[in-house]
Amino acid sequence: MQANLREHIEKIISLTDDEFAFVQSHFVTKQFSRHEFLITSGEPVQYTYFVISGLIKLIHTDDSAREHIVAFAMEDWWESDFQAFYNGTKATMSLQCLEDTTVLCLTLDAYNSLCYGLGKMELFFLKKANAGHIAAQQRILSFLTSKAKERHEKLLKRYPSLFQRVPKTQLASYLGVSRETLSRLSK
Amino acid sequence: MQANLREHIEKIISLTDDEFAFVQSHFVTKQFSRHEFLITSGEPVQYTYFVISGLIKLIHTDDSAREHIVAFAMEDWWESDFQAFYNGTKATMSLQCLEDTTVLCLTLDAYNSLCYGLGKMELFFLKKANAGHIAAQQRILSFLTSKAKERHEKLLKRYPSLFQRVPKTQLASYLGVSRETLSRLSK
DNA sequence: CGCGCGATTGAGTAATTTCAAATCTAGTGG
DNA sequence: CCACTAGATTTGAAATTACTCAATCGCGCG
């Protein structure tokens, strides 16, 4: 599977060929291999990423060096440490590949010049930010309303492909349970 | 305490007197008493709200009629069922007062005309949406990294005033623990 | 005084974690 | 084709954490 930036944007706003060329000129394509880091906690965050193909995880490492998965991002998703990206501060999370991955990279300057040159992209990014907010709220709700088993089932139903592509340990970290518990739940 | 819309907006973008008058003309002020609903689950969502004074809770009621607090909103905060508001669908959550509350109300039409007439408000709302996304991610992280006791302590440190203003039962629902457990943790 | 609501306490139970050990699996080199 | 290893997954048992249900307490208000 492979994401298409133009189709992705045109789900929200429509673009002429010229406009899309203008949009595209703000991005750089990069490739990363499994296990490589796109963002490293403690370092500046240069880009927001749009995933063309592959799979990455946004992680936070706590005081005890335990890793927690804040989000997965696959084809068609935007990801970054947005807090750090927009404020120009150091990353508090890391972004790491779970598969070989191709992304489009957008710097903050490119982002600003893109919105300045093509106002309707602001609406596009607003919708995306809102969608991110809503998705995060839904995940909070799943913590409030469901036990581990139910969260697991819902994830399985919503993103069956994740269970093919991601080691169980990673899913456990995303669900907020130990890998042993997840293993026991799967039956 | 009382929020000031102009000061609030000018933390992000600056406005002339005329511009602020234009902004203000898009809002309607409303007052609600304790226990009143601003949004009722299942009904259309007419407004996004900016809280001038008071305190409200965004709640979701699950299949077993249990209430879960997705968010609190106090002075200076924006709240709504954003999913329903932006898409014109029925609310899946309710918004209810914990205190007598005064809010500014913005319809979707007013929102659009405001952004259309004053482009920089789009940036303002984008920043707010992003802040919402980031705040929700932080809350997810607190579920992943902390036990109930730690979540409780962090909330206490971050929003001490909540503990004055909100019954413990409500805090327990926000933290995702039973009221009995919260009571035992407080020692 | 007595009611009602919120908060607390106790006891038993259920869910989840931790740590240690056992299995399983895919890939490697001989 | 086999043996071997590293990593991932599973299993067992004890300890911890949180939940439920029931009873009690404390306080403000009519």
**Could you read off the pLDDT of A127-146 as tens digits, one per residue?**
999 999 999 999 999 999 99
Distance from CA of B127 to the nearest CA of A (A): 8
Do residue A176 and residue B143 have CB atoms under 8 angstroms apart?
Answer: yes
Which has more pLDDT, B154 or B65?
B154
Q: A151-166 burial, b for 16+ CB within 10 Å, e for fewer?
A: bbeebeeeeeebeeeb
pLDDT band, very low/low/confident/very high, at A1 (cuts 50, 70, 90): confident
Residues of chain B in contact with residue A61, where contact means CB-CB under 8 angstroms, are none
Q: Is the pLDDT score of B107 beyond 90?
A: yes
CA distance B86 to chain A (A): 9
How far is Cα of residue B135 from the mean position of the Cα atoms in its chain? 11
C chain positions with any atom within 7 Å of a protein CB? 6-11, 15-20
Q: What is chain A's mean pLDDT, rounded?
A: 95
| CB of A186 lies under 7 Å from some atom of strand D | yes
Cβ pair B125:A125 closer than 8 A:
no
Copy the structure tokens of residue A45.
Answer: 């965050």
Q: Is A134 in contact with B83 (Cβ distance < 8 A)? A: yes
Which helix (H) or strand (E) element contains residue B120?
Answer: helix B120-145
For residue A152, how far is the Cα from the chain centroid? Answer: 20
CA separation for the pair B147, B182 (Å, rounded): 12
Measured to protein CB atoms, the chain D nucleotides within 7 Å are 8-13, 17-22
Q: Which residues contact A48 (CB under 8 A, 6 or more apart)?
A: A78, A79, A80, A82, A85, A105, A106, A111
pTM (predicted TM-score): 0.93
The answer, yes or no, to whether residue A187 has pLDDT greater than 90, is no
Q: Which residues pair with A44 in a beta bridge?
A: A90
Q: Is the pLDDT of residue B29 over 90?
A: yes
Residue A65 pLDDT class (50, 70, 90 cuts): confident
* Spatial CB neighbours of B49, under 8 Å, sequence gap ≥ 6: B38, B56, B73, B78, B79, B80, B95, B103, B104, B105, B106
Q: How many CB pairs under 8 A join A and B?
A: 86
Contact B82 A133 (CB under 8 A): yes
Q: Is B146 near strand D, with its CB below 7 A from some atom of it?
A: no
pLDDT at A89: 97
